Amino acid sequence: MPGLDWLTARPIAHRGLHDAAAGIIENTATAFNAAIAGGYGIETDLQISADGEAMVHHDDALGRLTEGSARLADMTAAEIKAVRFQRSADRVLTLGELCELAGGRTPLLLELKSRFDGDRRLVQRAAAVLANYAGPAAAMSFDPALIEALRNIAPKLTRGIVAERHYAHHEDRMPAAAKWRMAHLLHAGRTRPQFVAYGVKDLPAAAPWIARMLFGLPLLTWTVRNEADRERALRWADQIIFEGIRP
């Protein structure tokens, strides 16, 4: 798609260029700085706080990498920022802080996390923050409703859909028919994605092939972790979202 060359110009580090064994934890300032130093784009995740702030964190609850066990949606941004990581001196960032850190030096690919419950606050906050950001940035989500909302709230912000064939990790959130429609990108008429991020294990697949070859949408693929994934990505996609290897 014209004007989106920046989106596929360089490999994208999944949750930053993290390496837990070296004390570089995913989705932290240290991981993001490492990605920038390596010349990679940054993929990261956003969760909504109780007071409506966009927080840089993958899981919807504390505990896997941090102290505590509370849900982020039940905590204020200040409370989340006070949480300690188990193996790092980093603290959870807000989206605004991530934008300050990146400073336009590399593309930001922001996954809007969703509980598929109709909550649009994360879309609204992300759009508000990115309206004042001059660097290259795009938002994406598994949830078509969030991308439809983004299209309406911030039509100039680059938007994409994240998809896969089976949605195993969403099995408790939606019926099989909804997963099938999402896997085949049947929401495209209302979401109008400008790129697709599809699971590398599920390539090739008809829907992303059609989006790429017939409609010219850039196709990213995730998460590339080994040489077999890389070879599949090189054949079927325009760029990789990677971790655990160096492109």
Domain ranges in the chain?
5-226
d(CA 53, CA 238): 32
Strands (E), 168-217: 195-199
Class of domain 5-226: alpha beta
Query: Are the C-beta atoms of residues 30 and 48 closer than 8 Å to each other?
Result: no
pLDDT tens, per residue, the chain with 247 residues: 668 999 999 999 999 999 999 999 999 999 999 999 999 999 999 999 999 999 999 999 999 999 999 999 999 999 999 999 999 999 999 999 999 999 999 999 999 999 999 999 999 999 999 999 999 999 999 999 999 999 999 999 999 999 999 887 765 678 889 999 999 999 999 999 999 999 999 999 999 999 999 999 999 999 999 999 999 999 999 999 999 998 9
Query: Are the C-beta atoms of residues 140 and 196 closer than 8 Å to each other?
Result: no
Q: Quick check: pTM over 0.95?
A: yes
Locate 55 and state its tokens. 């927080």
- pLDDT value at position 140? 98
- pLDDT value at position 171? 57
